[in-house]
Structure 1
């Protein structure tokens, strides 16, 4: 499915750079320039512009969580009883310090937040729920869904 709303300030070369860097962020500028049939300096300038304008937030390696010992992947829905006090704001600040929380989203629907959490095993996930989530002020409900099998996991955006 093609996204026709992709930022109009990006031309085909910019979009190709973004696609290639999503596939392999270790590509050298020279290799990238070669693939784009550009010289090195204009390629480098385009990459810097994409970084400066915020299209590229950073570079990272995709790691295998299971190889690193994180056998549990949980999706956690959290609810707050009172939304008028400072509890949600304190929660948002506190959750930033927990590296086992891969993502945290304020959402619509029955829950207030959706978290993606990794843990070594069910016991360590249980400890995280008891010692961290249940200890957060204002949290009134916690619903966990554990991933039984990972079908697709990607952070790549569909850049056409």
Structure 2
């Protein structure tokens, strides 16, 4: 099924909402040059059609004790549908894993997590990562400096 098309006004709405999800419909309408009703209708359509998937608050990792960002490469001991499914279910249950991506290349998965410090990372590695089904090998990259991090997609 072809993706629904977005006109320039839809794109403006998405751009403003990504930058500030708490913007009022009235303020959004003023910024894009439409009536409040027309803006509200477009917003509801964008939600209904799945362009907007959720709203949330972005937290400061340092203030909530999760200042150390780590990426972990994972190689599985074997690849089969059963292992992939078991691995996926275990990852989905872990609150400490922020992102997990199956990748093509020299390893199977790339995990992203935030922990308080290296001691907490060591605990995360032993209690969470190495306990995942099928894990054979890991390589960790602790981030020394975040150059750019965003959730905003170009529209």
Q: What's the TM-score, normalizing by structure 1?
A: 0.91
Show the counterpart of 1:95: 91
Task: Choose which of 78, 87, 109 in structure 1 pairs with 2:74.
Answer: 78
Show the counterpart of 1:154: 150
Q: Any idea what the Cα deviations from partners look like across 1:4-23, whole Å, max 9, x if unmatched?
A: xxx67100000000000011
Distance across 2 between alignment mates of 1:93 and 1:29: 38
Q: Any idea what the Cα deviations from partners look like across 1:115-140, whole Å, max 9, x if unmatched?
A: 11111111111111101111222110
**How far is 1:70 from its partner?**
1.0
Q: Is the 8 A contact 1:80 1:88 kept in 2?
A: no
User: CA RMSD for the aligned pairs?
Assistant: 1.3
User: Can you give the 5+ residue segments of structure 2 that lack an aligned partner in the other structure?
Assistant: none
Distance across 2 between alignment mates of 1:85 and 1:42: 47
Distance across 1 between alignment mates of 2:80 and 2:27: 53
Q: How many residues align?
A: 153
Q: What's the TM-score, normalizing by structure 2?
A: 0.94
Distance across 2 between alignment mates of 1:14 and 1:63: 27
Task: Choose which of 125, 134, 141 in structure 2 pairs with 1:138.
Answer: 134
Q: Is the 8 A contact 2:91 2:132 kept in 1?
A: no
Distance across 2 between alignment mates of 1:126 and 1:35: 48
Report the 3-state secondary structure (helix = DSSP H, G, I; strand = E; otherwise coil) of the residue aligned with 1:86.
Answer: helix
Q: Any idea what the Cα deviations from partners look like across 1:76-121, whole Å, max 9, x if unmatched?
A: 1111121125122111111112222111101000110001111111
Report the 3-state secondary structure (helix = DSSP H, G, I; strand = E; otherwise coil) of the residue aligned with 2:93.
Answer: coil
Q: Is the 8 A contact 2:90 2:133 kept in 1?
A: no
Show the counterpart of 2:35: 39
